[in-house]
Structure 1
Amino acid sequence: MLKFPEKVTVKEVGPRDGLQNEQAVIATGDKITWINQLSLTGLKYIEITSFVNPKWIPALADAVEVAKGIERVPGITYTALVPNLRGLERALEANIDEAAVFMSASETHNLKNINKSIEDTYPVLQEVVQETINAGKSVRGYVSTVFGCPYEGPVSVEAVVRVADRLFEMGIGELSLGDTIGVANPRQVTEVLKVLLKRFPAEKLAMHFHDTRGTAMANVLASLDMGITVFDASLGGLGGCPYAPGASGNLATDDLLYMLEGMGIHTGIDRDKLIAAALFIQEKVGRQLPSHSLQTLGSCAG
């Protein structure tokens, strides 16, 4: 019998991970409206944007305006991706609650995503983590390609452990393990977590699955059974990694909520308000989003 927790934290990454790869240009005001809707759903954590150089991700060039324009709800952590000290300056100016730093477990993906080797990435992130902590903010880490790389294929768990060790040594509070191209399966998830949980407590780890091959929900179940209670998801299944070919489709927040609710696992999220927010952003991107929940409504925008 699988073991399931009584409650789970769902971290909404749609405004950043969802929109970063969209072809449609979403107006700044619409982003702000959407995040404000998300803030009323019961979510306690929303990743609102990225302070990466706008030339790399033009869709999020309005990061400061979005972060300053939203209505902050007490009790919610508003976080953003921060690549370097220049990005951190903008993020702190915009008064984010938390900075998320990111790198890959595979060398080639790291080079294409960050334009640096893994070894050369560490000192850059160390500066960001230290300055963020000095500013009184928390720091989250992302490690990509944990379960496979689009360029190198399988990634060893030893490579993941090396990166995780360094990020925790820097002072991050939580590490999100990314299945960047959606290749993981439940057995692999279990085997990787067996290794990592010998080194790090379960409450310090989160899972970030993509549903590229339809295995994200099964991988959530395997993670729950291993004691993981924090999951990243993107409303409607929006988005993917622009540097990982074929990686469209994050785990959909609305589908995840449906499964967890049905299993009696508490999330604190209001399903009706979440679906309303999903329909809003679906209309703005102008296409049917891939989540099963939205498809059952039979609505198609655009």
Structure 2
Amino acid sequence: MYRWPTVNYKEEGMREGMQIEDSQISIDDKVELLDALSETGLKQIVVGSFVSPKWTPQMERIDEIVTRFTPKPGVTYTALALNSRGVERAKAYSPPLTIERDQFPRLGVHMCDVFVRRNTNRSQAQEMERWPQVVAQAQELNIKEAGIGTNASWGSNFLGEFPVDDLMTMLERQHSMWDEVGIKVASASMGDPMSHCTPAKVEESVYRVKEKWPEINNIRLHLHNGRNMAIASAYAAMRVLGPEDTLDIDGTIGGYGGCPYCGNGRATGMAPSEDILHMMEDMGIETGVDIDKLIECVWMAEKVMGRELYGHVSKAGPRPKSVSSLYNIDMPFVETLEQAKHFKVGPSAYEGGIYPYREPITSEYRDRVDQGKPAYDPAGGEWPWKQDWFPAKD
């Protein structure tokens, strides 16, 4: 039995998702979606970003969204701000926004010099030039704990794959700067804007960080899903970490989102929130999120976008576990995605479907389940192990 880390989940659909969508999506639709997300049990929601509308016109009217949505107590709402001007704009709306400050002063760098030039108009060398200043400021403020981090951690669409050895060397250089001034490193972050994460690489990276620096008990992962590896990679990280650790991860409802700088556009995507949270609940990690309400948000977003999004639980439904959620065993064929919505909208979804059976479907196994019994008795029990028709007996 695994003892899982504490997992903090952040919903990024209103920012990572919307920033690559049509800039003409109405403010009414965005506010309605944000309000619906607030009712799901999510604890952290990013509402958008305070950035230049010249480059991100989708965020031009972020001020209207922030003033019109209905904050829900217990939910932390944040917004991305990339510079001091953006921070000042965000402060005008605090509350309801929480001005997000990293718990730790952090040294960070992109492993891909090309991506950071395309994304921020700076070079990798310019990023690293700031490291001494960050360390000096932390000393002046008598900071006791700090962080290290990389972005484009495992590979780049412009430079190829980066071995984990390279990532570790970069983190070691950062760690040594904190060591020199006696500030403990308690957090390590790894980002993946170009979808180069794999479960093997993420597992190795997190394992090696924990092996080399056991005192690091906060791991932050920002994983894009262009190659469908984000959920498996997050799971790999969870397996490495223990109950003394905290894992910060994020995703978007429906898995939508994208990056105009990496070359994959909307195909970049993120882990669909409904899928990864459904997985976590099955693992015994309490999320506090109502998956049914989250699915409603996905369907709402699909209506706004005018297309299907990329998640799976929103299409097939959560795994039915209670008797009341089990499927009708005598239903007709279910072939289309619309018919598959019967898990939520009921039998009307498949009404009129092909019914090929001469007699209604019945099953003694289902009868047992409907009576509150397990489908199978434990080993040594009666059903089905000791029935006359069972071919092999003890």
The question of whether the paired residues in 2 share the 8 Å contact of 1:6 and 1:264 is answered with no
Superposition deviation, residue 103 in structure 1: 6.3
Who is 1:245 aligned against? 263
CA distance in 2, matches of 1:207, 1:13: 13
Is 2:36 the partner of 1:16? no
| TM-superposition CA deviations, 1:119-157 (whole Å, max 9, x none) | 434688989xx9xxx9xxxxx998531121121222330
Distance 1:286 1:194, change over 3 A: same
Which amino acid in the other structure matches residue 251 of structure 1? A
- 1:105 is aligned to 111
CA distance 1:69–1:199, shift in 2 (3 Å):
farther
Q: Which residue of 2 aligns with 1:204?
A: 218
Q: 1:221 aligns with which of 220, 225, 235?
A: 235
Whether the 8 Å contact between 2:155 and 2:194 is mirrored in structure 1 is yes
Q: CA deviation at 1:289?
A: 0.3
Is residue 152 of structure 1 aligned with residue 159 of structure 2?
yes
Q: Distance in 2 between matches of 1:145 and 1:89?
A: 28
1:119-138 → structure 2 map (5 Å cutoff): 119-121=125-127
Q: Show CA shifts across 1:46-104 (max 9, x none).
A: 11111121111111111222222222222221111111111111111122313378963
5+ residue gaps, structure 2, are 103-107, 142-146, 318-336, 340-394
Q: Distance in 1 between matches of 2:173 and 2:24?
A: 34
The residue number in structure 1 matching 2:31 is 32
Letter matched to residue 13 of structure 2: G
When residues 195 and 295 of structure 1 are mapped into structure 2, their CA distance, relative to the original with a 3 A threshold, is same
Identity of aligned pairs, percent? 31
| SS at 2:221 equivalent | strand
Structure 1: which 5+ runs fail to align? 135-139
Change (3 A) 1:99 1:165: farther
Aligned CA RMSD, in angstroms, stands at 3.4
1:42-191 equivalences under 5 Å are: 42-95=41-94, 96-99=97-100, 104-121=110-127, 143-155=150-162, 156-158=166-168, 161=171, 176-191=189-204
SS at match of 2:160: coil
The verdict on how the C-alpha distance between 1:253 and 1:94 changes in structure 2, with shifts beyond 3 A counting, is same
In structure 2, relative to structure 1, the CA distance for the partners of 1:4 and 1:60 (3 Å cut) is farther
* Aligned residue pairs, count: 289
Q: CA deviation at 1:252?
A: 0.3
The residue aligned with 2:316 is 296
Q: What is aligned with 1:254? A: 274
Post-superposition CA distance 1:141-182 (Å, at most 9, x none): 985311211212223304652797599999x99765322222
- Taking the TM superposition and a 5 Å limit, the aligned residue runs for 1:262-301 are 262-296=282-316, 298-299=337-338
SS of the residue corresponding to residue 289 of structure 1 reads: coil
Letter in 2 for 1:74: P
| CA 90–55 in structure 1, closer or farther in 2 if over 3 Å, else same | same
- SS of equivalent residue, structure 2 residue 206: helix
Larger radius of gyration: 2
Displacement after TM superposition at 1:268 (Å): 0.7
Q: Does 1:230 align with 2:248?
A: yes
State whether residues 24 and 285 of structure 1, in contact with CA within 8 Å, keep that contact through their aligned partners in structure 2.
Answer: no
The whole-number CA distance in structure 1 between the counterparts of 2:249 and 2:32 is: 24
More displaced stretch, 197-206 vs 54-63: 197-206
- Letter of the aligned partner of 2:32 in structure 1? T
Note closer, same or farther for the CA distance 1:194–1:269 as it changes in structure 2 (3 Å cut).
same
d(CA) in 2 for partners of 1:241, 1:39: 25
Structure with the greater relative contact order (CA < 8 A, sep ≥ 6): 1 or 2? 1
SS at match of 1:98: coil
**Deviation digits for residues 194-215 of structure 1, max 9, x if unmatched?**
3333448565322222222222
Q: Distance in 1 between matches of 2:123 and 2:303?
A: 39
* Alignment pair present for 1:193 and 2:199: no
> Matched residue of 2:90: which SS?
helix
Distance verdict in 2 for CA 1:104–1:200, change over 3 Å: farther
1:238–1:186 Cα change, 3 Å: same
Indicate the larger mover: 192-201 or 66-75: 192-201
Tell me the TM-score normalised to structure 2 length: 0.64
Distance in 2 of aligned mates of 1:193 and 1:268: 26
Do the aligned residues in 1 keep the contact of 2:187 with 2:216 (CA within 8 Å)?
no
